[in-house]
Structure 1
């Protein structure tokens, strides 16, 4: 019997990995890009370190809380939907078990099993745990691994905060003449890393992910810096 290679992701492990990856990568990217855009925009208007630090910290806190709240609401809705679907399936199994057994057999047959094998597999799965069998085959839900909103919220909060700290420190720590080069360089390096990491963990091509991340960061910083420079000149 062939064994799965270590580079392949299978079943629930892939789903769990992708959920965490989505929250972490989105949080880190948003933290890097939004904070970099904010502080670079402010740097276009003023060189005052206190103003840059205040703007960066405000953006970091607002962004991390927003990401956490949004992720909590989104994953809570997903969890509610999963629990509602399981409740409906449980009720149908109780009210019409034979019809549900035939439905499970039909789903297994649609996946490539012969009619006889599908019926026998459906019977055996139903004897072990009918709800779990229907949840996995019919609904694509693992009752033991429902979406966890608090886990997702904390992951997004932490990822955004870590990502936001990079451009914040890069803009306030160096001397004035080095602030923009250090910030732009560190942000691009971080976006290349997150793009490459997300592609590798998701078994996707790395080139496009890296290019998208880097291009988004460049556009965000360029636009906000131009706006900040214009506003600073107008207010001078």
Structure 2
């Protein structure tokens, strides 16, 4: 079976390098390349890839938001992250949003090939540093935190699914200002300062599943 692969990365040199790498693999066919998440979504819907190999930090749409949108609009595609970043704020939201694998860009090419083949059949592949971070979060006792209100939990759930403030406000029939106020309260209760950190903290503390 030929694996249909979509590459999403905002650096042309990286895309060129990946295209050259995968040209050697008879069982992997690149069906498209995108420079950001918006292009990636459109190509995924049109080309129906088996695996989306994506960076995290990209213009317009990237990271956990892009992965969450893919899960909604192209659920047939499995997402494999290939990035330079392995901080908690990068790893946890991406995995929580639905990524089946997470590799760093210094991974050997044979490891990348194996990860794409594993992702195509639904298996998870994690670089050692990423696996260690996830294991640490599983083992760490959840810190005590103020309880989120029902509306705050709803806002955080939508944020974890990649919704913007505007989209969250529309879904809950409130104003964007109200959403921002809820987020400020969520940040204070979780001891974080941004959306990605809030989602990561919520998953690690069991507030989101």
TM-score range for the pair, normalised by the shorter chain length? under 0.3
Q: Higher RCO, 1 or 2 (CA under 8 Å, sep at least 6)? A: 1
TM-score scaled by length of structure 2: 0.27
Q: Which structure has the larger Rg?
A: 1
Q: Please state which structure has a larger fraction of its residues in strand.
A: 2
TM-score scaled by length of structure 1: 0.24
